[in-house]
Amino acid sequence: MHSSFYLTSFNKKKISELKCGKLMKVINRELSMINKIKEKFLSKSFLSFAFIGAFNTILSQILYMIFVSFSIAVSTSSLLGDVIPMFFSYFLNMHFTYHEKPNWKSFISFPISYLPGIIINMVMTVIFVNWLGVNKLFAKAFALPLTIPINYLTMSLIVKLTSNKEKA
């Protein structure tokens, strides 16, 4: 009954104009957000980061599997599997992704940028193995969709803060 009052109080054209105006605002806001996400995560630097990350991930997974096969604890294997390839990742990303010369400040800061991703990956790996029963040789790979964007954002921030380039 309330909606029929609304329909009879205003003509249908005005109602549709109001709905279209609000809808267009929502659509424009959503498109703007999608464009910002595309700019950040489909940029050349992100794709370079992802490619290097794929190499790093394969190396990390191989090391993790080796450590686990030697009966080293899942959490320790995960940690070692992440930390060792991190050094390769630093130099490759500085050169190909960020086009920066390595420096001590960023080298020291780099492990800090990976810390959130390493912790999340280690915790998720333990959860997948101990609570969800995922095979421990493959559990580490299940946490990757969560850790890759986190690592990219934190690494980008560290590089920006420690850049050798003059700030304009």
pLDDT value at 7 more than 60: no
- How far is residue 168's CA from residue 165's CA, in Å, rounded to a whole number? 9
Report the percentage of the chain scoring pLDDT > 70: 76
Cα–Cα distance list, 167 to 161, 162, 164 (Å):
10, 11, 9
Domain coordinates of the chain in residue numbers?
2-38, 43-162
pLDDT in tens, 98-127: 888 988 888 888 888 788 888 888 899 999
Of the pLDDT bands very low, low, confident and very high (cuts 50, 70, 90), residue 23 is: low
- How far is residue 93's CA from residue 81's CA, in Å, rounded to a whole number? 18
pLDDT value at 136 more than 60: yes
Structure tokens at 111: 């492990």
Cα–Cα distance list, 98 to 39, 45, 71, 113 (Å):
16, 7, 38, 14
Characterise 163 by phi-psi region: left (phi > 0), alpha (psi -120 to 50), beta (else).
beta
Q: Which of 64, 154, 65, 67 has its CA nearest to residue 115? A: 154
pLDDT value at 168 more than 50: no
Query: Which has more pLDDT, 33 or 82?
Result: 82
